Amino acid sequence: MALAQADVLAGLKEIVEEVAGIPAASIEMDKNFTEDLEVDSLSMVEVVVAAEERFGVKIPDEAVTDLVTVGDAVNFIINAAK
C-alpha cells in the first residue's frame, strides 16, 4: 500500500515527540536525528520499532545506520511499503 509523504512525516513527528520529547512543530524532513533532535542510539531503536508498528513495514538493523535525517526515514518507509 502506497503511503503519502505527509502522512508518514506526521506519524514520525508523533513518534519522535513521544520518544525524545521534541515538539512535533520543530521536526522537519531535513532535521538530523542525532544532531538536531538529540535522538541517541537507544532512542533511535524505540523510534524504529514504533515506526514499524505504525506503518506495517520492516526496517532492518543494517538500514537504520543510513537513516540520518527525518527525510531519510520517511523515504525508507514509503519505499518499504510499496
Partner 1 sequence: MSRRVVVTGLGATTPLGGDVTSTWSALLAGQSGVRLLTEEWAQTIPVHFAARVAVEPSEQMERVELRRLDRSEQFAVVASREAWKDAGAPEMDKERLGVVIASGIGGVTTLLDQYDILREKGARLVSPHTVPMLMPNGPAANVGLELQAKAGVHTPVSACASGAEAIGYAFEMIAQNRADVVVSGGVEAAIHAMPMSGFAAMKALSTRNDDPARASRPYDLNRDGFVLGEGGGILVLEEYEHAVARGARIYCEIAGQGLTSDGYHIAAPDPDGAGVQRAIKFALRQAGISTKDIVHLNAHATSTPAGDVAEANALRAALGSDADHVAVSATKSMTGHLLGGAGAIESVFIVKTLQDRLAPPTINIDDLDPAVTIDVVRNTPRTLPAGDIAALNDSFGFGGHNVVLVFKSI
Binding residues vs partner 1 (CB under 8 A):
19-21, 42-43, 45-46, 49
Closer of 2 and 19 to partner 1 (Cβ): 19
- Smallest gap from Cβ 13 to partner 1, in A, equals 15
Closer of 6 and 65 to partner 1 (Cβ): 65
- Smallest gap from Cβ 39 to partner 1, in A, equals 11
Supply angle C-alpha 60, 20, 74, rounded to 5.
45
- Smallest gap from Cβ 43 to partner 1, in A, equals 8
> DSSP 3-state assignment of 66?
coil
Q: In angstroms, rounded to a whole number, what is the distance separating the alpha carbons of residues 82 and 77? A: 9
Closer of 2 and 42 to partner 1 (Cβ): 42
Exposed, middle or buried: residue 58 (CB in 10 Å: 0-12, 13-18, 19+)?
exposed
